[in-house]
Amino acid sequence: MLQSYSIITFNAIIARKLLNQVRDVIRVKHYSYQTEKSYVHWIKHLILFHCKRRPKDIGKLEIEQYLTHLINDNVSPTTQNQAFNALMFLYNHVLKTSMQDQNIQALHAKQRERISVVLSISMVDQILASS
């Protein structure tokens, strides 16, 4: 029982140190506090999704699995992009591991259809004529 507790504590210490490193790099780069909070959230979510594995040990396949999992949680495309950018920030700026050449291919959430809110002149004339 003592061994499992020490492993959990050790992993928590590593994760906390990593998240502090993320915060430090974000602050040095003068990102906003809201960006810091959201990036830390998505990095923590990735670590928990992969059963508290170290991000150094998480590769391209696991990142793709995580981003695809977000679609199953019905997140919007912008939320998925935010999570992706947080992970790329982690690997490129904190862990100093280039992910540019990895070509991460995850399923992307569907974009919502945009409904036009501007009426054409003929549509306005038609509405005014019917009233």
Give the CA angle between residues 84, 42, 57 to the nearest 5°: 80
Kindly list the structural domains of the chain, giving each domain's residue range(s) and its CATH number in brackets, ordered by start.
Answer: 2-130 (1.10.150.130)
pLDDT digit string, tens, across residues 61-93 = 888 889 888 887 888 888 888 998 999 899 889
**CA torsion 22→25→29→35, rounded to 10°?**
10
Distance CA 76, CA 24 (A): 28
Would you write out the chain's pLDDT as a tens digit for each of its 131 residues? 445 545 555 555 556 688 999 999 999 999 999 999 999 999 999 999 988 888 888 888 888 889 888 887 888 888 888 998 999 899 889 988 877 777 777 666 666 667 777 888 888 888 888 87
How much is the pLDDT for 35? Answer: 95
Which residues neighbour 110 within 8 Å (Cβ) at sequence distance 6 or greater? 77
Put simply, whether the predicted model's pTM sits higher than 0.85 gets the answer: no
